[in-house]
Amino acid sequence: MKTKHLVILVACAGFLCSCATAPLELVNARDAYRQAAAGPAPRVAPAELHVAHQALARAEQSFEENSDSYQTRDLAYVAQRKSELAEAMASIAIEKRSQVQADSDYQATQGKIVAETKQDLSQARTALAASERSGELSEQDLSQTRTALAASERSGELAEQDLGRTRTALAASERSGEVAAVRLSAEQEARAAADQRAAVALAALAKLAAVKEEPRGMVITLSGSVLFASNRTALLPEARVRLDQVAAVLLTTRERNLVVEGHTDSEGSDSDNLGLSQGRADAVRNYLVQRGYRADLILAHGLGEGHPIADNASAEGRANNRRVEIIIERETHASNP
């Protein structure tokens, strides 16, 4: 019943927000939660499913407050991963239970076979002893019977040894399965935590610079006039203060790949603008590396005047085009060394 209520809540949230188109990440998060809630997770992984439900509720709340927020997308992505984790943990628990039952049945069957073998051997020994006393069998028959009995005894000993080895192997397999389940949970939790940190970091960045979401990732735009003097590539003193703030936030998600792009207005030659934009991109990249960001995760590109965001015919437009953009790639996660 509790699971049904959770699913109904998700459905209601989708209905109430129908006036605004939900982003794909939130749609995926809702679907992932419904799938997890409809499966065995409520029964065998209720704690993980509850965490997923809370994460989805945070994403729905963010969507209600701002339907076009990048924070909503990040929170929805985290919620999706939480639901997927709950479903995975439920599958692991069920598989483990099935394996334990199968192992128990196998050991019971093998134990029964060993017990029956011992009983047959005991009866055979009794019959052989009686035959020896009565003289019913010839010496050759007795010898053959003794040989067969010895072979049967060795076979029974081997069966017991096989059963012992099987029990040892099963115990090792159970331990391996538990370790794999713990490792999967840790990896999923680490990824979800990283995504949660990214959502918080992006919210902080929005207070420092213009931030927008594009297919290539989250784009942080810094005005070139704030960072550099005219036709110069050396950072201004006040630019270092701003970049210190940006770097502090970026370092909370230091596993993300970054691309630093330099842009200019249309004044000057193409070759001069390309060189100027590359020098400025390099200056920002180098400063971020000095502040602690991994150098192998940052690329710098100078694009010159080729990607304007405003009309170069006006002074204001040219000022907007003179900029540096830092792109946080959304889908690439690199592990720390």
pLDDT tens string 8-44: 555 555 544 445 688 888 899 899 899 989 988 888 8
Amino acid at 302: G
Q: What is the pLDDT of residues 116-169, one digit of tens each?
A: 666 656 665 666 565 555 555 455 555 655 665 565 555 555 556 656 666 666
Mean pLDDT value of segment 180-195:
62
Q: Give the position of tokens 């991963």.
A: 81
Count Cβ atoms below 10 Å from residue 32 Cβ, excluding itself.
22
Percent of the chain with pLDDT over 70: 59
- pLDDT value of residue 306: 92
Under a CB-based contact definition with an 8 Å cutoff, are residues 262 and 280 in contact? Answer: yes
Separation of alpha carbons 221 and 212, rounded Å: 8
Under a CB-based contact definition with an 8 Å cutoff, are residues 239 and 284 in contact? Answer: no
- pLDDT value of residue 319: 87
Q: What is the pLDDT of residues 259-302, one digit of tens each?
A: 999 999 999 899 999 999 999 999 999 999 999 999 999 999 99
Q: What is the pLDDT of residues 208-249, one digit of tens each?
A: 678 888 888 889 999 888 888 888 899 998 888 888 888 888
- pLDDT value of residue 184: 63
- pLDDT value of residue 157: 57
- 238: tokens are 């006040």
pLDDT at 334 over 50: no
Within 13 Å, how many C-alpha atoms sit on residue 288's CB side? 26
How much is the mean pLDDT over the chain? 76
- pLDDT value of residue 252: 78
Mean pLDDT value of segment 247-260:
85
Domain 208-333 CATH class label: alpha beta
pLDDT at 70 over 80: no
pLDDT at 183 over 70: no
